[in-house]
Structure 1
Amino acid sequence: MNLDLNRPYRKNLTSHGLIYMGGEEQEIIIKDISLTGVLAELKCDQASPKDAKDIFNMLSASTTIDLYLPEMRLAGEAEVVRVDMLNNHILLALEFRNITYDVDNQLYKRKVYRKNMTVPGRILLNGEYHEFHTVNASVDGLMINLAESIAVDAGEITVFEIERLALEGEIKVIWAERTADGGILLGLQYVHMEKTVIKGVPRFAR
C-alpha cells in the first residue's frame, strides 16, 4: 500500500458555490474538499485553452480570490495554486487563506456576502469626525471598529468616507456594541453613496 501521509485527506463531493476573480463573479462546482482547500470546476458548457489563458492573465495581478460556499457554510479568501484543463473543463485548485466557517448558518440568512477587510476611514459622529478601521464590508453596508467609546444611537444617519476604496456617502447606524478594550463596533447600512460598485467586494447575492 502506498500512502501519501503528507497530503491531507480529500473527500469527493458535488457542491455549488461562487468565486470572485478578475472583478467578476463566477459559478463553480466543488469536486473535492480537504482541511486545506478545494478542487473547483468553473461552471461553463465548453471551455477552451484560451479560457484557461485568460484565467492565467487575471491571476497575474493576484492569485487570491474570494470564495463563497453557502452549502458548506464557508466564506472568505483562497489562493489559486493550480489551473488545469480536463475534458474541456477548467479545474482550479484552491488553498484556503482566510476562511470562516459559519456555525450559526448565517450565510443562508444574509442577502449578500461580507468580505473581511481592514481599511482606515472616518465617520462623523456627535459633530466630529472619528477614525475607524473596517472589520468587513459588503455591497449593503459595513462593520467598523472605533478605538474610542462614543455614544451612538441605532437609527442615526451620518456621513463617512474611506479614501482607499474611493467610497463616501450617507450611512445609517443599525447597531452598536462596546468592545472589551474600550472601543465600539458599529454595524452600518448604506443610505446614499457616490458609487454603487465597491472595488474588490463581490455581491454574491442569494
Structure 2
Amino acid sequence: MANEHDRKEYRKSLTSSGQIFIGGEILEFKSYDVSVKGIMVEVYPGRFLTEIEDFEALLVENDSAEIFVEELRLTGSVEVVWVKQEADKILLGLEYRDVRHNEQKLWVQRAAYRQKKSFSCLLIYDHGRINARGIDISVIGLALTGDFKGSDIKTGDIVKLQLFSTPVNKAVAKIVWLKENDEGSTTLGLRYLEID
C-alpha cells in the first residue's frame, strides 16, 4: 500500500487554464493541482453558476461534468467530489471518470453539441403549462427562460417539454437549478431523463 510520501509523488502543482461544462454552462477555470486520479481547479463564475451556493445546489442533483485542460491537452468526463470557497475563489475537486490526452479535437466536437440557440418551448408540469424560450441546448440538457411567477416550480421537479425548431421534439427533464433574473423572469437548467 502506498504511503503518503508515495502519493505526493503522483501529485503535481500545475497552473493551466481550461474549461468545464457543468450545469448547462461552459465555465473557464485555472488548475492548481493535478494527479493521476483527478485535478483541483478554481472555477470562474458564469452567467447562472455565480456563487458557491449555486454549485452546492447543483451537486445535490448532478455531480457530472466535462473538462478540457489546455496544457495537458486532456479532455473527458469527471465527477465533482467537493466544492469549497477560499477567500473569493470557488474551488472544485474533480475525479477523472473517462479522460483522454492530446484530444483537443474531441473537446471541440463535444462543444459542437452544446449550442447557444434561441427556440420556443412549452413546459408542462403538474399544475399547468408555461411558454418559455430556450437559450442553450446540449446532448444532456438545456437552459430556458420565462415568466414562472405564480407557478410552484422548484429544483428537483420533473417536467415535460415540447420543443420547437430543435433536434429534440419532446422530453422529460429534471430541473437541476433555477435563477431569478433582474427583469423578473426566471432561468431554469434542466437535465434530460427521456427524449423523443
Shift of 1:43: 2.4
Who is 2:185 aligned against?
none
- Aligned pair in 2 of structure 1 residues 28, 165: CA closer, same or farther (>3 Å)? closer
- Aligned pair in 2 of structure 1 residues 111, 12: CA closer, same or farther (>3 Å)? closer
Q: Is the 8 Å Cα contact of residues 18 and 70 (structure 2) preserved in structure 1? A: yes
- Aligned pair in 2 of structure 1 residues 93, 110: CA closer, same or farther (>3 Å)? closer
Alignment of 1:23-172 (within 5 A): 23-44=24-45, 51-102=51-102, 107=104, 112-114=108-110, 138-139=113-114
- TM-score normalised over the length of structure 2: 0.51
Q: Where in structure 2 are there 5+ consecutive unaligned residues?
A: 116-138, 142-163, 169-189, 192-196
- Aligned pair in 2 of structure 1 residues 96, 8: CA closer, same or farther (>3 Å)? farther
- Aligned pair in 2 of structure 1 residues 139, 55: CA closer, same or farther (>3 Å)? closer
For 2:92, give the aligned amino acid.
Answer: L
Is 1:14–2:41 an aligned residue pair?
Answer: no
Q: Percent of counterpart pairs with the same letter?
A: 32
Deviations 1:162-204 (A, max 9, x none): xx979xxxxxxxxxxxxxxxxxxxxxxxxxx93279x87xxxx
Query: Highest Rg: 1 or 2?
Result: 1
- Aligned pair in 2 of structure 1 residues 68, 113: CA closer, same or farther (>3 Å)? farther
For 1:194, give the aligned amino acid.
Answer: S
For 1:14, give the aligned amino acid.
Answer: T
- For the aligned residue pairs, the C-alpha RMSD in angstroms reads 3.6
Separation in 2 of the partners of 1:111 and 1:4?
A: 34
Separation in 2 of the partners of 1:75 and 1:97?
A: 11
Separation in 1 of the partners of 2:114 and 2:44?
A: 24
Q: Is the 8 Å Cα contact of residues 19 and 66 (structure 1) preserved in structure 2? A: yes
Separation in 1 of the partners of 2:97 and 2:107?
A: 24
Separation in 2 of the partners of 1:71 and 1:61?
A: 31
Who is 1:194 aligned against?
165
Separation in 1 of the partners of 2:8 and 2:82?
A: 16
- TM-score normalised over the length of structure 1: 0.49
Q: Where in structure 1 are there 5+ consecutive unaligned residues?
A: 45-49, 116-136, 141-163, 167-192, 201-206
Deviations 1:97-127 (A, max 9, x none): 111112xxx51x6782427xxxxxxxxxxxx
Q: Is the 8 Å Cα contact of residues 75 and 106 (structure 2) preserved in structure 1? A: no
Q: How many residue pairs end up in the alignment?
A: 121
Q: Is the 8 Å Cα contact of residues 16 and 30 (structure 1) preserved in structure 2? A: yes
Give every structure 1 segment of 4 or more consecutive aligned residues whose post-TM-superposition deviation is greater than 3 Å.
2-8, 137-140
Separation in 1 of the partners of 2:67 and 2:31?
A: 11
